[in-house]
Structure 1
Amino acid sequence: MSITPPSVPVLRGRRNTSLQFDGSALILRRGAKELEIPLAAVARVRSAQRVVEVQLTAARGKPPTHRVEQVSEAAGDAFAQAVNAALPGVAEPAADGASLVIARGLDDEGRKLRKRRRIRLGLLALTVLLIAQTVVVSLADEPELSFLVWMGGFITGTFGAFAVHWSPFDTPAWRLPRHGVSVMARYQGYIDGMHIYDFTDLNGKQFAYTPNGYRGEQVEIVYDPSDPFNGTERDLLLGRRTLLLPMIFCAVPALLMFALCLAMVIAIPLS
């Protein structure tokens, strides 16, 4: 049975977590990671005191559980009731629900936030330095140099911000050429507007790869063993030197202009 009642709410909890029911599976999103939990892997859903727990089936031992905290209590109760009514029932013996869960990575917003934070802090530090340099040239009776100082600072900040934005060091593309593991991913079909390829990591966990288009019945994937959500096709990998080129292109003029402005200010007391 796979019916989605129109009243099933989408649950939103703490730490950028959401849980929704699409009729055949539960979609759990936590940050940059997404779990697709088919109904066959769900034993039951419980809701109590603003906490919703999705208990998976297990052949033996304690069943795995996924929790979403700080949700609306009314929405949690309605969600649990709707999903439990749609469950097909637990087969005997019970399936290993964890092995049926498909994990996939979403766009890493955390990485983007870290880069934006670095850019803001860098621009703030540069602004403070420019103000200090302006004070120095004013005290040295060279106020006309203030324009050059701020013009140089603007160029430094612009090129420096682009250099940080294009820095490859904290990206999966930087790690994969040296630390990636190669596997063959098999085509599963066109689902929810995406071409889905499944692959299994070294621990036997199933993950999904979603390219922009159809790549054939199978494609070679290189993924990060420490974070299998990050992976790409072997043919799309770039060398580390190539990845550094955009950053170097922006960093060099930024550093040169910064050094020029600094040298100009330092030379004032010596003249």
Structure 2
Amino acid sequence: MELTAPAGTESTLYRIEGVSRAAGTVFAEAVNGSLPERPAGQDRVDGSTLVSVTPRDADTDANREADSEEEAEPLQPAVLVIRCVMAAVALGLVALAAGVVLAGDHVSRALAVLLLGGTGLAIGRTAVRTVAILWNEWYLPRHGITAEARPVLIHGEVAYGYTATDGRLRRAPGGVRGETYHVAYHPEHPARVAACKSLGAVLKWLPLPVVFTAVTVLLGWGTVALPAFR
């Protein structure tokens, strides 16, 4: 981006550091988009007169109502794939239980298959969700757009929200902290957001999805092998 200065003034270069390329691009586009176009042949004006700083009132932010919360978010491709896989596994589980009954086994064995498989499916979903959260907490602060989460009024309750590049106010992850904090969201999917944390804070939760995955594999093996046990 480029702002003009009075004639004879030496130009100054400013570098944006400490943010991702996506965040820097959004900032430059926002500044360039707010500058009026200068007709050809018109004298240049002092660009500093086009820049103003207006402090935000924290009390006003706290009373803002998140009207856009009612709008449905577009479904992300990864979420659609996960839901389809979960649905396919659930149908396969029902088919396996039905096969146990048709094979002449007692109904209790089919119920055991459903119970064991359902538990494995629930834990597997938790494992996938935990991996997604940890991935977002690592990826988004480094490649997403950083925003400040402020107190807002959502459905009559005080929560934290952030405003993305599309102008919508969304609920920020995390509970009420008593102070503002930073979140990072995906440039193409603003609803995909994570609180900015240090790498150590993210890695300390890494063993959790490993345990969930191991339990899911064991329960899945038991579900498939159970009909063969006599």
TM-score category of the 2 structures, normalised to the smaller one: 0.3 to 0.5
Using structure 1 for the length normalisation, give the TM-score. 0.40
Using structure 2 for the length normalisation, give the TM-score. 0.46
Structure in which a larger fraction of residues adopt strand: 1
Structure in which a larger fraction of residues adopt helix: 2
